[in-house]
């Protein structure tokens, strides 16, 4: 009884996507032009960069399992049992990244947050705003489902206390 929740589309200016592509191509170009021994490390770096930028946003997912909301990221999973969480819509926005990853379509880790009743969140989001706050034991998680209202409705149907 697992239900996948679509993640909101990435919200990033086209210039940023081009900049990421340019950096990856520059590193690949340096690898191709470098003398003998430097080809391997620079080539590996270019491939790694391309893989991370391509793979990371695709690994971000939310799943409504039988007893818990499961948040999956490139580096692992967080299981949030329905009986231990509350959820609400937020007009807040991610601020400064304190720890984690911040690239287009993939924002994970600890971020400052506001304006909201919480000042820091654990993000697992595809964009910086327009999401849902899920709280468990004093930790606030910022998630960005494609349809926040439907997501909150699904959580409420599973017994989660949903606020407005």
Concatenated DSSP letters of 101-120: EEETTEEEEEEEEESSS-SE
Q: What is the mean pLDDT of residues 134-161?
A: 96
The reported pLDDT for the residue numbered 131 is 95
Query: How far is 124 from 95, CA to CA, in rounded Å?
Result: 14
The reported pLDDT for the residue numbered 38 is 59
33-49: pLDDT as tens digits: 766 655 666 667 666 66
Backbone angles phi, psi at 139, to 5 degrees: -105, 130
User: 17 vs 124, which has greater pLDDT?
Assistant: 124
pTM tops 0.85, yes or no? no
Q: How confident is the model at residue 127 (pLDDT cuts 50, 70, 90)?
A: very high
Tell which residue, 12, 26, 134, 24, has the closest CA to residue 84.
134
- Which residues are bridge partners to 18 per DSSP? none
Query: How far is 64 from 45, CA to CA, in rounded Å?
Result: 36
Q: Is 16 helix (H, G, I), strand (E, B) or coil?
A: helix
Hey, which bits of 50-125 come out as E strands? Answer: 61-64, 68-73, 76-81, 85-89, 93-103, 106-114, 120-125
Q: 4 to each of 13, 63, 118, 146, 160, how far by Cα in Å?
A: 27, 5, 27, 11, 17
């Amino acid at each position: 009884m697992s239900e996948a929740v679509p993640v909101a589309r990435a919200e990033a200016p086209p210039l940023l996507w081009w900049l990421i592509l340019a950096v990856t191509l520059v590193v690949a170009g340096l690898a191709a032009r470098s003398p003998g021994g430097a080809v391997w490390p620079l080539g590996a770096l270019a491939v790694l960069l391309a893989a991370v930028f391509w793979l990371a946003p695709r690994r971000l997912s939310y799943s409504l399992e039988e007893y818990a909301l499961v948040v999956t990221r490139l580096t692992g999973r967080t299981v949030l049992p329905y009986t231990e969480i509350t959820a609400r819509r937020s007009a807040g926005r991610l601020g400064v990244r304190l720890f984690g990853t911040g690239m287009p379509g993939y924002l994970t880790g600890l971020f400052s947050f506001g304006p909201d009743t919480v000042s820091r969140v654990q993000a697992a989001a595809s964009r910086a705003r327009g999401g849902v706050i899920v709280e468990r034991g004093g930790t606030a998680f910022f998630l960005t489902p494609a349809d926040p209202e439907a997501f909150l409705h699904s959580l409420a149907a599973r017994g989660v206390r949903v606020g407005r």
